[in-house]
Structure 1
Amino acid sequence: MKTNFLAKSIIFFILMSCTSPVTPEFDIKDGLISVDSFLSNFPGSSYTKIYKLNEFNIGLNQYVNTPVTGAEVFLINSDTGEAVQMTEDNEVYLPPNDFVGSVGDTWQLSIKMEDGIEYHSSPETMADLVELSDINAEYKTEIEYNKAVGRFVPGHSIQAIFDDPLEKGNFYYWGYRIFQKKDICQVCSIANYFRNNACIPYTDDPSTPGLRPYFTYSCQSACWEIDYNTGINIFADDFINGDTIKMPVANILLENKRNFLIEIQQYSISASAYKYYEILKKITEESGGLNSPPPAALIGNMFNPNDDNEYVLGRFTAAAASEKRLMVKLSGIKETQLIPGYAIIEETNPISENRRVYTAPCGPETRYSTNLEPDGWE
């Protein structure tokens, strides 16, 4: 089984190595599979997302992505044959928490759907990384134009500082994670309260519930939420080989006024990966970001080993990264935050006083939440 997988993948890799990612000229049909997968060299950075393009949404003028669940997903080390299973977690497939790749290793992605259809990637080798020297944050009252509010909005520009190698042909991709401490760990809408780790209808007499829209529950212990980048930031060193570079790599909008810890990841990617993300950046910026399906199909390095005629969208990328963290404090900022926060509304009537609950647990460790203080938090 492994021999057939590797043989077919190698043949496909030879064919793909002479081509660039393309936006094929064909009508997108219901049921096309799209894959977004990244493998890197530090814990928590590797993931796989699988989508199926379903019906066309006339109002959005695009197809709608539906996450695919129930698949068997493996990372295959092409050199050793090691197979690392990725486990489904909230519509994302993740490897074990301690899994990391290493520079020089070659990996492939293997997917088996619930109906038995398989999808593989061509091999990807993790190239030598370019180290980040430092990062910094600069607050701006007008950082970018926001269509939702119809004006320029405030936020922090995050810059990466690094020394580009003298040799040509270095390609970069930046991602980030943001850690923010949570004050409220649960919100229950009207006529519900928090019991047994869930919001459920309360059994007290609801005849005089008042005007409260919800109940809030503070965190029983320290808890941090984790957010990830939703855009694409890439760079090729065609004209600045060997220079020290200071480059903006992320805009963090003033969505709230809580201090945050930002982790910038600087990936060294292949030329083929850069070409893919260059096209993806263009079409996703036209359609509203990575969470929106692109208006045109983009073929990467995924394929169906048993059906040469099936188009498979998306890409598996293996890339080494250097990362830096920076604590950003928001005291003294006068501009209004973009997203209104929840007012603290604790349990009151009609909940009887001796039955009231005021706190909720942080919840399980996930890709998006942790009760472990992040390294670098102040």
Structure 2
Amino acid sequence: MGCTEPIRPEFDFKSGMVLVEGFVSTAPNGSFVKINTVNEFNIGTNSYENVFIGGAEVSFINTDTGDVVALIEDTEADIYIPPVDFVAIAGQTWELDILLDDGRQYKSLPETIMESVPISAIGVTYKPELSFNVELDDFAPGHSILVDFEDPPNVENYYYWNYRSFEFRDICVTCHIYRIYRDGTCVLIGSEIPPEVELVHPYQTYYCENDCWRIRYNQNIKIFSDKFTNGSTIERLPVADVLLYTKKDILVEVQQFSLSASAYEYYETLKDLINDNGGFNSPPSAALIGNIINPNDRDEFVLGRFTAAPAETARIILERDDVEEDQIEIGLLAPEGTWQEPRIPPEEYIFEAPCPGESRYNTSIRPEGWPTN
């Protein structure tokens, strides 16, 4: 009596559905579109995966002026981005238009950009166990970014935060087994690796020959509603978790967005799903139906959402000299010539490579707020 036998629940995952995440922002480099399809179960990773859809024609449309902004496909980041000088303005209304290479079309409902709420102060606190990291299967150390702001009275406000972090790179290129960097790419030396050769290092690394910064982005959702704090002064609200990937000093750029009620509801659902599934790249376990439709097939369910929101930006330098915990990423230096059996003469070695180029994840342009000394 009273004894129960637990059973493993079975879920019906529908593959092949399109997942769209679109964002128009008043912040420079804050606008983007991601298009994925929810794929079949991957036995190798023991999970369902989202697969990027490339080759699409993607545009932002200003419904007030009729202006069309064509987005460019960034194949390194699997994302579509507008021209680098694109910024939206509060009060404008935007739509998203997508045409896939197979002829399918997707459009969003219009979104109007509201007025932003400024950040009055930004701070930081360090925690040895900041958040649980799925890849490490353990709690990871890092810094929690805190903000202050004055919530406007007599109106409902909803907030959402993104961040970018900039860290100075030592290594600009890594070439894997028996490959070396020549003429802008990693090329193979020889046709195969002899089975009797024991590698000292399975890769070769190349120092940056010019200034280069790596860019990282948030991996979780931070939102806030003023339902119980309307018109109050909000102080030291945690809005970003910056993990200790490196013990070097880094620059963190926080963006505070003001959302509509429907956008907040969507990101609240997305936050719950990410917390359940363990990461940004995990596919949704429930239907994230937003404001995107297939105008030629109203019966098709399209996951995701297009959001237009204003942003306020604040920056802070994180000094990590006194951090005791080990950094998450620990890489070994392996310049050319560190094989046990070199295949090129030492006089032909090179040790440097240029910054990978301007992209979502790298830049050779000094970030705004980076110390000059």
TM-score after normalising by structure 2: 0.90
How far 1:283 moved relative to its partner? 1.2
Q: Say which is worse superposed, 137-146 or 109-118, in terms of deviation.
A: 137-146
Cα distance in 1 between the residues matched to 2:56 and 2:313: 31
Partner of 2:262: 272
Matched, 1:376 2:362: no
SS in 2 for 1:285: helix
CA contact (8 A) 2:13 2:285 kept: no
Q: Contact conserved, 2:37 with 2:50, CA < 8 A, in 1?
A: yes
Tell whether the 8 Å contact from 1:76 to 1:82 is kept in structure 2 after alignment: yes
Root mean square deviation, CA, Å: 2.1
The structural deviation recorded for 1:165 is 0.8
Q: Does 1:64 align with 2:49?
A: yes
Unaligned 5+ segments in structure 2 are 1-10
Q: Hey, what does 2:96 align to over in structure 1?
A: 109
Q: 1:183 aligns with which of 146, 151, 170?
A: 170
Gaps of 5+ in 1: 1-25
- Cα distance in 2 for residues equivalent to 1:65 and 1:47: 17
Name the aligned partner's letter for residue 243 of structure 1. S
Mapped to 1, the partners of 2:45 and 2:193 lie a distance apart of 40
- Give the Cα separation in 2 of the matches to 1:54 and 1:190: 30
The one of 340, 344, 356 equivalent to 1:351 is 344
- Percent of aligned positions with the same letter in both sequences? 46
> What secondary structure is seen at the aligned counterpart in 2 of 1:132?
coil
Query: What's the counterpart of residue 8 of structure 1?
Result: none
- Residue by residue, what CA displacement relative to the aligned partner does 1:114-163 show, whole Å, maximum 9, x if unpaired? 11111000000000000011211111222233454454332111101111
Asked if 2 retains the 8 angstrom alpha-carbon contact of 1:47 and 1:95, the reply is yes
The question of 1:135 aligning with 2:135 is answered no
Q: CA deviation at 1:293?
A: 0.7
| C-alpha distance in structure 1 between counterparts of 2:193 and 2:221, whole Å | 49
Distance, in Å, in 1 between the alignment partners of 2:156 and 2:21 is 24
- The Cα shift of 1:344 comes to 4.2
8 Å contact kept, 1:62–1:295: no
Deviation at 1:58, TM superposition (A): 6.3
Q: CA deviation at 1:350?
A: 3.7
1:343, distance to aligned residue in structure 2 (A): 2.6
- What is the CA distance between 1:71 and its match in structure 2? 0.6
Q: 2:247: which partner in 1? A: 257
One-letter amino acid of the counterpart of residue 275, structure 2: E
- Aligned partners of 1:85 and 1:356: how far apart in 2? 43
Q: CA deviation at 1:261?
A: 0.4
Partner of 1:52: 37
- Using the size of structure 1 for normalisation, the TM-score is 0.88
Aligned residues: 353
Instruction: Determine the C-alpha separation between the residues in 2 that align with 1:250 and 1:99.
Output: 25
Match of 2:283 among 287, 293, 298: 293
CA offset at residue 48 of structure 1? Answer: 0.2
- CA displacement, residues 60-100 of structure 1 (integer Å, 9 cap, x when unaligned): 77532110001100100011111100110122111000001
Query: How far is 1:212 from its partner?
Result: 2.6
AA at the equivalent of 2:40: E
